[in-house]
Each structure stands twice: as structure tokens, then as C-alpha cells.
Structure 1
């Protein structure tokens, strides 16, 4: 699990909901991709980065719960894509995360989501994704 890059906790529980802080595409605590999607980062790389964000989210979730068996459903994703000025395929980038969650959880991985363009993200990351999860 990636260490927080600021003054926050990775997971906050409220009732049966877990709110996961935004995750970046890191591996071994190092950012794997940097730059704007549509110029320095390709659509395919950005989709892989979105999947890596979900791998990191699941690591944070597992660290909080002990295992993933308590996941009842993935409720919502919010995806922020560091986009070049004319890039308009944020939804396609975010499919990398959504498809991965459905592979891992099946129907429990289907979720609502938002995918928006932003001009910059922390550390120059091409994407940041936060998630809401319902648990038993």
C-alpha cells in the first residue's frame, strides 16, 4: 500500500461505508506514470495507470479490513484525469479501473462513477481515483 502523500488517512469508515482517499498509480511507493493524458501519456498507458490506482485502493482496503471478503459492493468511483487541453476521453481512461473491479468482484464490482478532466494532479500524476465501498 502506498504511503499517504499528505495529512490524511487512506480509509475512513462511516457505518457500513468505507471512503477511500484518492490513489495514484504508484508501485513500491514510486509514481509509475507522470504527465497529461493525451500529450505525454497515451490512452493505453492512462488506462493501465487507472488499473494501478485500483490495485493500490484494494491494498488500502485490505489493510483496513484484513481481507476483501467483507466487501458487499463497490458503490462509486471518482476519477480525476490530468488531461491535455483537447483530451475528452476521461471515461475511457477510467474504464481501466472499472473493468478491473468487475474482474475482481464480479457484480459486486459494478459501480456508479464520475470521470472528470483536471489541469494538474499531485506529483504530476496522470490520474487519481477515490472510491466508496459498502462492507458487511
Structure 2
């Protein structure tokens, strides 16, 4: 497979600038051959495209739209990884994805929402993008974001 950077270009994906932290933390930390990202919100040009709970019904964020936001979160997380490594070509594999979905109490489709992140990681990394995962429904997320995603990534030593 071509390098990850070439694959991003093939897919027409341009990673965003790393989102500025909204509290006291850093976007990602490298320890040994692993990078752990902080939870990434679906910021686009520094702003959330939508806020609120995910579910079906008036006034709720549509689950498919939320899946698109999870994809954006994953790309924001990759930008945080790249900010530490200089290139995503050093990624051996995506080890784990943790996704949080601000959910209406009756909504149980969190795995489908977080598939937005998992799918794009598979498109970018192929077999190296297959990962362990948690998809968790929560009452509320920072800034009333509908989704948040964090990654654990293994790098070449």
C-alpha cells in the first residue's frame, strides 16, 4: 500500500489544523511507540457545526449527521497525531477508538454513530485501521458537542 499521506491525497482528505484545547490539556501525547489523543470534537474551522443530543426526532441531531461528525472527530485526532510525528506514514496501526455520543435517553445507536470514525480510519489505513473500540452514550459532552472521539495509535519505533 502507498504511504498514508499518499492515501489521504487519493481520498481527497486534507487534515485540518489541530484544534486548540478548550481546557488545560494537550491534543495528543506520545509515549514510546504510542500516541494517545485527547478527545476530539467535530470542530470545523474552529467551531462546532451543530450542538445537542443525538437521536431520532425534532430538535435532535440525526444519527447519520452525527456519524459524519464522528468522522470529522477522527480526522481531527489524526491531525493531532501528525502534529507530534510529522507524518502519518509512521503509523503502524490504529489500536483503539473510544467514541462518546451525547444521546437522547431513548437513543441506543451509538455504535452506528461511531462507525463514522471507524469507517474513515479503515479507508485511510486499510487493515492497519482495524481497531478495538468503545461506543458510549453519555448525557452531555463539552460545549454541548454531539460526539467526541479519541484514538490510541501505534507508531514505528
Q: TM-score, normalised by structure 2?
A: 0.85
Is the 2:100–2:148 Cα contact (8 Å) retained in structure 1?
yes
What count of residue pairs does the alignment treat as equivalent? 136
- Aligned-pair CA distance for 1:33: 2.1
Residue among 67, 70, 83 paired with 2:103: 83
2:89 aligned counterpart, secondary structure: coil
Greater gyration radius:
2
The equivalent position to 1:31 in structure 2, one of 45, 48, 54, is: 48
Equivalences for 1:10-21 in 2 at 5 Å? 10-21=27-38
How do 1:1-136 and structure 2 match up within 5 A? 1-38=18-55, 39=57, 40-136=60-156
SS at match of 2:38: strand
Contact 2:100 2:136 in 1 (8 A): yes
Q: Distance in 2 between matches of 1:133 and 1:18?
A: 5
Query: TM-score, with normalisation over the residues of structure 1?
Result: 0.98
- Greater share of residues in strand: 1
Q: Deviations over 1:62-97 (max 9, x none)?
A: 111111000000000111100000000000000000
* Partner-residue secondary structure (3-state), 1:30: coil
2-side partners of 1:61 and 1:96: how far apart?
19
